[in-house]
Amino acid sequence: MSTVKTMRVISQDVLGGPEVLRTVEVERPAPRPNEVLVRVRAAGVNPTDWKHRQHGGFLGEPPFTLGWDVSGVVEAVGIGVARFRPGDEVFGMLPYPFGHGSHAEYVTGPARAFAHKPASIDHTQAGALPLVSLTAWQALVETADLREGQRVLIHAAAGGVGHVAVQIAKARGAHVIGTASAGKHDFLRSIGVDEPVDYRETDFADVVKDADVVLDTLGEDTSVRSLRVLRPGGIVVSILPVGSDEFPREAERLGVRAVRMLVDASHSGMRAVAELVEAGKLRPTIERTFPLAEAARAHALGDTGRTTGKLVLLAD
């Protein structure tokens, strides 16, 4: 085990823009029972990071260190951990929302939150996957039970969750409709979208019919309007956990299902993701990488809302 006693983390003392993020040195944690200490090699940056940075969200007032995605190497294991040992390459998502802290050189987390990193991808790719792939897997597979031959509409299909959800849906044998601006349609087709829809020029509710599943990554009125493109008995899964009571009421009126969900840390989910990666059916698209110390630049790019795929911090 390393004799290093401190580590760099990206912290903030106030809510606000990317400029509130700063690099600080803190004591390196030790793993508690059933936890692993991971030396972070790469950590994805997700919309939930820049939203929490600005508004506090579930975490309330700072100080805090953001980040839920992790890919790295096990440095030490706590009492009772049988699944991993020092030197293992792992990837996973820290328990959402209160297990945050991966935008750092080291992080501890429950062993159950991790899986062995697929050998076919590097840490940068693996660090991009956990939160978005677990979100997509839990929404499409565990909640909606998406099956071969079904029709699925994925909103913001070129985004972090969206582009992974497309690949998971295709691996399930579904027919995929995806919304994005026209400039991203070639990208959508390259990852398997069967019917791209330009949301700037076309109202999806006018062109999508008889969908079995809708993955709503946008919320607000998109949730309610998505219910109207479903076949009877279909389901909209929204990954935005709060919203109008009209969503469940309209679903009941139409004879369809409306579900809101939050992603949850899961060893079995990470193993399912790893299997898709090893089978060549899932790869993240990475818009850009940044050194850990330049986290503010990553957040500034994320704030534009125009990225394709993922942003990743590199801790090496």
Question: Do 298 and 215 reside in the same domain of the chain?
Answer: no
Q: Sort residue 222 into left (φ over 0), alpha (ψ -120 to 50) or beta.
A: alpha
Do 236 and 290 lie in one domain? The reply is no
Mean pLDDT, residues 152-181 taken together? 98
Residues 33-43: what's their mean pLDDT? 98
Q: Lowest-pLDDT range, 148-157, 241-250, 269-278, 293-302?
A: 241-250
Question: Residue 14 — pLDDT band, cuts 50, 70, 90?
Answer: very high
Shared-domain flag, residues 86 and 157? no
Residues 123 and 147 in one domain: no
Mean of per-residue pLDDT scores for the chain:
97
Task: Provide the b/e sequence for 108-129 (b: ≥16 CB within 10 Å).
Answer: bbbbbbbbbbbeebebbbbbbb
Where residue 70 sits, what CATH number does that domain have? 3.90.180.10
Residue 154 contacts residue 116 (beta carbons within 8 Å):
no
Given pLDDT bands bounded at 50, 70 and 90, which one contains residue 4? confident
How much is the pLDDT for 2? 58
Residues pairing with 109 in the sheet: 36
Q: Do residues 28 and 148 both lie within one domain?
A: no
Say if pTM beats, i.e. exceeds, 0.95: yes
Residue 159 makes CB contacts below 8 A (sequence gap 6+) with 217, 307, 308, 309
Q: Which of 244, 260, 276 is the last residue of a domain?
A: 260
Tell me: do 108 and 137 sit in the same domain.
no
Packing angle of the helix pair 160-171, 130-137 (nearest 10 deg): 50
Domain count, the chain: 2
Beta bridge partners of 196: 178
Domain-located, residue 240: yes
CATH number for the domain that contains residue 169:
3.40.50.720
Same structural domain for residues 77 and 159?
A: no
Residues 47 and 96 in one domain: yes
Which of these, 161, 154, 192, 151, lies nearest to 280 by C-alpha position? Answer: 192
* Main-chain dihedrals φ then ψ at residue 311, nearest 5 degrees: -110, 140
Q: Are residues 109 and 197 in the same domain?
A: no
The reply to whether 19 and 77 lie within a common domain is: yes
Which residue range is the domain that position 207 belongs to? 132-260
Alpha-carbon span 50 to 297, nearest angstrom: 11
DSSP conformation class of 32? -
Residue 24: pLDDT over 80: yes
In a domain, 270, yes or no: no
45 CB contacts (<8 Å, ≥6 apart)? 67, 69, 103, 295, 298, 299, 302, 310, 311, 312, 313
How far is C-alpha 256 from the geometric centre of its chain's CA atoms?
26
* Rounded average pLDDT over 128-132: 98
Q: Are 25 and 111 members of one domain?
A: yes
CA 285, CA 76: separation in Å to the nearest integer? 31
Question: Are 125 and 65 in a shared domain?
Answer: yes
Find out whether 54 and 74 touch, Cβ atoms under 8 Å: no
